[in-house]
Amino acid sequence: MPSLRSRLRSCLRSRLWSCLRTRAIATFGRPALAAVLYGVIALPLALVGFFLTLVGLAFGGALSVTTLGLWLLAATVRGALALGALQRGLARRLLGLDIEEPGAPGGSGILGWRRGVLLDRSGWRAVGCALLTPFTAVFAYAAVVIGYVYGVLLTLHPLLKRWNYDTVHGTDGSADRHVSLEFFGHQLDSWPRWLIPFAAGLLLLAVAPLLLRYALGPHRALLTVLLGPDAATRRIRTLEETRARAVDDAAQTLRRIERDLHDGTQARLVALAMHLTLIRELVTAGAEPHRVLTVVDTAQGNATQAITDLRHLVKGIHPPVLDEGLHAALTTLAADSALPVTLTTDIGTRPTPAVETIAYFCAAELLANTTKHARATAAAVDVTARDGLLRLLVTDDGQGGALIGAGSGLTGLLARVRTVDGTLTCDSPPGGPTVVTVELPHI
């Protein structure tokens, strides 16, 4: 029995120490202290930016009928952009909040620069952010003061009690010292009562990270909305990226076709022409039949292989079986796979040819990856096309661990899918299973 008690006591002590250590790391760890530093810096920085921006807008607006007013407004907007860049940098380094840069205003020459700054939407969004951030940064500052400053002071009250006295002068001129910290009218000047501020301080320190996180929520949202690119800018960037990738993909496809034709089909056709010339010479010279037949067999083999190469080449551009529909193409693809593939299709409205082609090649690439890298024993392909959205799910029971951008071929598929505003997601925990979802709009 004593040994059981000692083991229980040791287990409870270990659990309590582990819990205290976890809470201490959560409260005073590097991420938490970085957030505290941001909460302390954000409000003074926001107040300085608010004052300078407001003054610049006021004087620039008053003098806007003159050239000086326009230059003052442009300088104010440019200053707001610089302040926004500083706030993005602080948020990225201290909060881990990565906000995409909206892009620099265009314009050549000094007058073009002024026109570009004044007409740039991101600049005026930065001005709005500079005017609004003090009202959101104050919550973070208050959370730091309440959670950390008062938490530390209350926790250290037994050590700081000598400074927590006020000197009160009576009517007779005598000076009395009273404890300034009271709880429901009771002065916390004795040992049992010290536990009240001590416990309150520990509680504040325990909830301080959570309190600061929620207090930073409005500020983070404001910075993300106003300091990042707007929806139109994001859309333009996405279209530019997808267009560039589509052009690169088309160029790579043309180079692959040229290489396959030059190294494969063209070489076989040249060999076929040479063998036909040789056959003509043998027949003209009256050669023995078996020699002529040997050269004919070789030429026939080259012709057959050239036809096979051309079929593979055409299939790589656009599989002819796709003319019969996506279901027939995927059925053929599943039948040719080295793994057992379960195919399920529910295609209400037939997608456009471009979407069918992308879906087919995505399924082919994913099944090829499953066969080569996943060490899977079976795979499943599920396709639905309803309400203007085609959804392709490829699942395997392999080892998992597939990541987009980790050299698994998924990056190229994502680029191809994005050319039609599609999405590709991969859920592949270590040990499997792997589920890749491709969604393609086809309206």
Which 8-state DSSP code applies to residue 177? E
Residue 66 lies in a domain: yes
User: Which CATH number does the domain housing residue 397 bear?
Assistant: 3.30.565.10
CA–CA dist 432, 424 (Å, integer): 18
Helix (H) or strand (E) holding 295: helix 289-317
Q: Over the stretch 15-62, which tens digit does the pLDDT of each residue have?
A: 655 665 666 666 777 888 888 888 889 999 999 999 999 988 888 888
Sign of CA dihedral 279, 280, 285, 286: positive
Residue 17 lies in a domain: no
Q: Tokens standing for 207?
A: 């909830």
**Domain shared by 264 and 337, yes or no:** no
Residue 377 lies in a domain: yes
**Domain shared by 249 and 192, yes or no:** no
CA–CA dist 346, 359 (Å, integer): 14
**Domain shared by 292 and 330, yes or no:** no
**Domain shared by 190 and 44, yes or no:** yes
* 254 phi and psi angles, rounded to 5 deg: -65, -40
Q: Tokens standing for 29?
A: 């760890």
**Domain shared by 42 and 132, yes or no:** yes
**Domain shared by 266 and 196, yes or no:** no
Total count of domains within the chain: 3
CA–CA dist 148, 367 (Å, integer): 54
Residue 9 lies in a domain: no
Residue 403 lies in a domain: yes
Which of 317, 332, 354 lies at the terminal end of a domain, its last residue?
317
**Omega before 433 within 30 of 0, i.e. cis:** yes
Which of 298, 317, 336 lies at the terminal end of a domain, its last residue?
317
**Domain shared by 219 and 138, yes or no:** yes
**Domain shared by 306 and 352, yes or no:** no
The predicted structure's pLDDT at residue 368: 81
**Nearest Cα residue to 238 out of 426, 422, 439, 442:** 422
Q: Tokens standing for 20?
A: 């205290």
Which of 289, 317, 345 lies at the terminal end of a domain, its last residue?
317
**Domain shared by 288 and 366, yes or no:** no
Q: How many CA atoms lie within 13 A of 317 on its CB side?
A: 14
CA–CA dist 174, 260 (Å, integer): 105
Residue 19 lies in a domain: no
The predicted structure's pLDDT at residue 179: 47
Residue 106 lies in a domain: yes
- Report residues of the chain scoring pLDDT below 50: 1, 166-170, 174-179, 183-186
**Domain shared by 209 and 81, yes or no:** yes
Q: Which domain holds residue 396?
A: 321-441
Please list, residue by residue across 425-434, b when 16 or more beta carbons sit within 10 angstroms of its beta carbon and e when fewer do. ebebeeebbb
**Domain shared by 271 and 351, yes or no:** no
Residue 13 lies in a domain: no
**Domain shared by 325 and 305, yes or no:** no
